[in-house]
Amino acid sequence: MRAPSTIICVDCGGTCHLLGHPDHDLEPGDSVAYRCELCMDRWDIVMSDDDDEPDL
């Protein structure tokens, strides 16, 4: 799986950009880091297995 290149910042609503671009697919449990372009907060996200998400 690949990490999204951007996510929405939970604190300010700005755009967070992926720090570093792994040249390999990620596995569940791998972590990726993002930095918000507005508030400069850093977000470290642990990649989850798609099967972990509840059905809505």
Quick one: pLDDT at residue 43? 96
Using DSSP's 3-state secondary structure scheme, residue 52 falls into helix
pLDDT by residue for the chain (56 residues), tens only, comes to 788 999 999 999 999 999 987 677 888 988 999 999 999 999 999 998 765 555 44
Three-state secondary structure readout of 4-32: CCEEECCCCCCEEEEECCCCCCCCCCCEE
Quick one: pLDDT at residue 37? 97
pTM greater than 0.85 (yes/no): no
